Structure formats: C-alpha cells, structure tokens
Structure 1
C-alpha cells in the first residue's frame, strides 16, 4: 500500500509544468540581458567614434583597483585597519568544581550560601546553590531566573556583585550556583554580637548607603521585596552590600496585576500586604527600610509578630489605628472587612513612634514616621529619603573609613543565632483569614496610672 504522503500522477504533472515554466522565464531573462549588453556596446562604439572626430579626450575609466593607482603615481596608500569591538559571546558555564568549598555560611528560603576559594586565583568568593523547584521536574524556578536577571541588571556599589553562574557536575549536573563577591558580615548577625547599637552617625551612613541601593533598584524598575538586616552585608570598610534577590522582580508603572501577595519576611512586611492588596509598588520596600531604621536604633527587630494577625496588631500598636485621615483607602483592601477595630478615644490610638525613640531628633523621628506611614502613598521615595533633613544635621554621617572593624563570623566559627522568620515561600497561602478582633490592643495604654506632678510630652 503506497504511503499517503507519496506524490500522485497529478502532482508529478504539475511539478513538470512548473519546472518548464521556470526554465522559460530564465531563458527570456538571459535573452533580455544579452540584448541590453549589445545595445550598450553599440552605443559605446558610436560615442567613441564621435569623440575621435571632435578631437576630444576619451572619458576617464573608473579605477577598480588600488594597485593601479599606486603604480601610476608611485605613492603607496596606507593599509586600512579593521575596527574591532568587544562583544559578549556564547560559551558554556564553568563548573563549580573549579572552586574549593571552605565552609557553610547560611541557608535561606531560596538557596544555600557557602564560602569558597577559586582554585585558579585563590580569591575568596561566596557561592549560592539555588533551590530548584522539584514540582517542575527539574525545571528552572522562576525565582532563580528573576534573581539572576535582577542581579545582572543591578550593578551598583552597594549591591552585591554577581560574578558568574556555574553548574554542577556528574550526578549534580543540574545544580545551579551563583558566584558572588564575599562580604564579611551581615547586619543581623553583627548586631547580635555588638554590646551597644550603632552610633547615630554610623546609622546615618548605613541608611544613606541602603537608600542609595534601593533608589538605584527602583530607578531600574526592580522591587527587592525582602529587605531585612540579614540581607544587608557589610565589609570591614564600613560599606554595605544589598544581597539575596530571591524574591526580587521587575515591575513597571502601573505595576502588573498578577503580583504575588505573599512577599517580604513577616517582621518587615508592609500593612497593605498583610491586608491582601491586589497590587503594590516601591512603597513596600520603603516600609522595610523603616523597620530596618528602627532595628538599627535598638539592635532588635522593631515588629516581631508571631503570625500575620499578631504582626498587624503590633503595627497598629506602634503606628496607630488607620482612619480616613491617615489611610483613606484602608477599607477597600480585601482583608480590612474582617477586622474589628477598637472604638473610643482616637487621640490615644495614634502613632507612638516618637515616644518609642526618644533619642531621635525631631528630623529623625519625622523620617521614621514617614517611612512607617500606614498609607503607602504617604511614604517617601528612596530619593526623597536621601534628601531628608535628618542626614544634614549633627552628628553628620561618619565616613566609612572611620567605622570600627569586627571579627568575621562567616568563617568556620559557630554563630549565635536568634530565631527569626524566613522569607515566605512562593505559592504559599496568606495566614490572615476570618474575623480578627483588635478591640483590646490599646487597653493597657488607656489604663496606665497617672500620678501627680508634671509630665514630659514629646512632640
């Protein structure tokens, strides 16, 4: 039985007809070119004969070779050099076997970080082994793709430098590793080892560097979405490097409608995220910067909630209950309908940020209050933060060269770690569900004993 893909007799006849038609067209074209050439030669002969009769010089022929001109004039033209441009090329990734693993540093939600030495140069680097999504049958996780993409686009003095991507070998050939510059400390571990918090001048320097990195990211339309002290590295020269872009992504204006709601580690998560906002922007990173600011002042995380409900309660205790004046869009958020807020004296339910940090100047308290605004529209941008009057008053920011040095805990020594929540996993469900009662969170504040005498009031 012949194949149903074989040509029939009609197909063969049609092919022969098309071939003959094509040959005829080629013949006619060649004939036309031949006639045109003969006409051109006849015209040239006629013009030459006329020029001879008039006694005029024949027209100059076009020089078709540099050698002809050089032979006629005796001068040699300089050789022409080709311009060469450096351009990236395609090449295979190097193997992780070119690096010697020295010790484990830490494990995060999206990878394992180790300290390693490159065999060829002896340079110390940090290597992050990415956690790939097993659900995708060995496919590349979208968080890993975004991390590589964002780090390649974020070349900045205060952002950790991604040097290259390397692969595993043999049975681990599908493993992916990020090779980054090694930085000695992270702010969280450093503060746990310090006896006293950073000085006000040092805090200003750290905030300026952090604000510079965040401003650059937002200018590149990148949201970090997991700013916290454990993701801020610091070297022995007082320079910080923003790291861990496992939750980062590009975001346009207006932001896309399919943004993941469960982002940012719980203690640094903005209230609009806890209340299920369908869309968000760079303001969520600025809320995290405000939490980091408060942590630098006290050495302890500012808002240590046990879960999403407790976290929201602590935010309201510090920043006050949202009202139409402080947060007009609050009631439009999905989870706001399930909250039962306290009633009573609104004056006793406002922000206590100023009272919690009496060591701050008025300008410093103003900056912290603005970063911790419940309404994301009222938070400053990173650029506005860097231009705040707080950084221009005494004490001035300390030069990084004057920062104290600390022994590095990223070596083989055991770390003394305090429990803190991890970054949320992609695809997990939010924990704020059902009706939540916040009616008693200000009960202690209203029942405080007030004795005789005078009372200092911080403004």
Structure 2
C-alpha cells in the first residue's frame, strides 16, 4: 500500500489518496476521503430555509424541517434478499402523529428533533437524513437488528411526512449526549472518577460487543453519539445512537465508492489512511478515544486535518515500524507519550492497560470488546460512586 497525504484548501480538511494492491495484484485508487468532523454545515448546506432553523415549540407536526430535495445518486449495490425482507417489514407511520418541538442535534448527515406522540404523550426523538430514502430505511433496519441490545437506542417506527415524500426515524428519546456531559463536568471542575469511567466503558463495551456479535460495526463512535437518559439503581443509562455510517454483514454499506468516512478526532489510523473496510477494530479505537476523553475532559487527538491527526496519533503513541517512512515530521525513535497525557492520579495502571490496548496503532494488536471486558480493570466491582452523568 502506498500513502500520499496533502492538505486541502480548507484547513479543517485533507485528502488521503491510497493505492491498494488487492489479492489478485491489480490496483485500485480510492477517491478523496470525506470527513464528518468539519465546520458545522451552514444553513444553505443544511438544506433548510433560514427561518426554519429557529426552534419553534408551536410548529405543527407535519412541518418537520426537511433536507434538500435534490436527487441523490442511486446505489448500484444489489441488496441481499435477507436485507430486502427486513426493509420491507419496516412499518411506516405518519409524522403528524407527533408534535415537534426543538432541534436537539445537527450533524453532517442529518438533524434530530424532540417530539411528543399526540396519542400516548410519549417523548421521542425524530431524525431526518439528508440522503436517499434507502439510507433512512437502511438505518432503520440496523436499529431493528440491534433490538434487544440494552446499549443501543430503540427504534419506535418510521414515519412519512404528510405533504411530501420524505421519511423520518422515530426513536426513543435518549437525553443529553455524553459529549455535553463530559464538557459540563470538565468546565465545572468535577472530573469523572475512575469508578464512573469504568461504569461508562463497561456499558459501551458490552453494547459494542453485542453489535459485533451480530455482524454490525458502528464506524462512528464518539461521545456525541452516546446519549444519557433516565436513572436506574446503578446510575444513568447510556445508549449508543446514530447508526448512519454503520456497516452490516447483511446490508450493503452506505457508500461503496471510497474509504470509510467518520469523525476525524475518533477515526482509527487505518481509516485515516484510506482503508475501505470498516471492521470491529475501528470501533475499538473510537472507544479508546472516548475513554481518554473521560479521563482528560477533552478529545485526546485534535488534528485539524487528516495529516495533522495522524501526526497527533504518532506523537502520542510512537511510530510503529511499518509506518516509519511516513513523512510526518517526527523520527522513527519517537517514544509513546500517552502516559504523559493520561496521568496516573486520574487513571490507575490497570485502567491504563485497557486504554493502551484500545489505542493500539496496529489493528491486529488492538483489544476486542470481549477481551477488554475480561481485563482486571473492568472486572472490578464498582464502588458506591455517584452517577456518571450528574452534570
């Protein structure tokens, strides 16, 4: 594999061009890799009229803001029979069964509003996707496949807008994001205790383990894609959301034309270098980034583009032999500085073993979810610590 890095005109972006040799010896060159960790989309990019970006508690349910109606390219991927059966079984309701309140989330691929079912009074989250109808049905199918996983948000139904051919996902309301809670705790000077960090990581690892056992890889794990909701006897409940970029053994990928997209600060090295195969090891790296953020209160790798992100990773972890020729401006003898960033008074040696195992540069050396859950730090009994989400 040969690697070429060059910064784009926007300092928040870069392109990675990778020429890979497949098992038959032929070469294929990938297109520049899209990233989701870019400046927030403008109102024009968001596809919404400026007046609709105002949070309006009195907006009628049928007037859920929609993405641009521009035609999306049709995927040439043949949908497996099992996937087609799953998609066909998804019930379609009506969006005017809900009262829409304010927007609670906005991302590169869609928006989320909170809403209340007019008949039951149940609070839910409604998500739109700025892509084809197949994309939203695909995410619905992935959520259905995760039904019964206590660490993944539950799909309620798919609904259609009354006056247009637009579909939305209706999911259980998950509460505040882990990202906002980490930020609030950090700025309040109340960092997470080690017991709290262990509780969060155990929950996420269990959820990811179940996903992986069912052939699903999330591919975009980050604190913003973890929501924290109601209290149970052991603290608040954390759930993984946003499976828009997830890969499945039974469903076609969302985009087969190039490398796997993701969120820059949480992308594994192989993603940054243009790998087109999003496997379970990618999720484990992202969980390592989340764990480091729980310890330090901020993302551990904060590159402004792909090149700088790789440089950050190499600076903290050192340079593995097989990538020592990458022109990253550091020598091959650079030692790991991960322990310098994650102080021992914040994370014990047993906890650091887990973090280091999740942040292995080589995916073959990276911990699996099952292996991580067997490590001493995660098998310890929780102390009587306060809830990990009391911001």
Structure-1-length-normalised TM-score: 0.59
Q: Is the 8 A contact 2:109 2:129 kept in 1?
A: yes
For structure 1, the 5+ residue unaligned runs are: 1-88, 134-139, 332-336, 408-459
- Deviation, 1:309, is 0.7
State how far apart, in whole Å, the 2-side matches of 1:91 and 1:307 are.
Answer: 39
State how far apart, in whole Å, the 2-side matches of 1:383 and 1:91 are.
Answer: 31
**Among 159, 163, 167, the residue aligned to 1:176:** 167
Name the counterpart of 2:122. 123
Name the counterpart of 1:284. 282
State how far apart, in whole Å, the 2-side matches of 1:361 and 1:233 are.
Answer: 26
- Deviation, 1:198, is 1.4
Q: Is the 8 A contact 2:136 2:167 kept in 1?
A: no
Name the counterpart of 1:112. 111
Name the counterpart of 2:377. 390
Could you say what secondary structure the match of 2:93 adopts?
Answer: coil
State how far apart, in whole Å, the 1-side matches of 2:319 and 2:326 are.
Answer: 15
Superposition RMSD in Å: 2.5
Could you say what secondary structure the match of 2:140 adopts?
Answer: helix
State how far apart, in whole Å, the 1-side matches of 2:383 and 2:124 are.
Answer: 28
Q: Is the 8 A contact 2:157 2:169 kept in 1?
A: yes
1:150 and 2:142 correspond: yes
State how far apart, in whole Å, the 2-side matches of 1:316 and 1:102 are.
Answer: 44
1:357 and 2:342 correspond: yes
> CA offsets per residue over residues 89-127 of structure 1, 9 Å max, x none?
979622100100121111122221111110101111111
> CA offsets per residue over residues 232-257 of structure 1, 9 Å max, x none?
001131110100011012148xx9x9
Could you say what secondary structure the match of 1:166 adopts?
Answer: strand
Aligned residues: 291
Distance change in 2, residues 1:262/1:405 (3 Å): closer
State how far apart, in whole Å, the 1-side matches of 2:357 and 2:257 are.
Answer: 25
**Among 193, 205, 210, the residue aligned to 1:211:** 205
State how far apart, in whole Å, the 2-side matches of 1:321 and 1:225 are.
Answer: 24
Name the counterpart of 1:167. 160
State how far apart, in whole Å, the 1-side matches of 2:244 and 2:204 are.
Answer: 18
- Deviation, 1:272, is 1.2
**Among 379, 387, 391, the residue aligned to 1:403:** 387
Q: Is the 8 A contact 2:311 2:328 kept in 1?
A: no
Name the counterpart of 2:178. 187
Distance change in 2, residues 1:343/1:109 (3 Å): closer
Q: Is the 8 A contact 1:163 1:181 kept in 2?
A: yes
Distance change in 2, residues 1:258/1:100 (3 Å): closer
- Deviation, 1:167, is 0.4
Higher relative contact order (CA 8 A, sep 6+): 2
- Deviation, 1:147, is 1.1
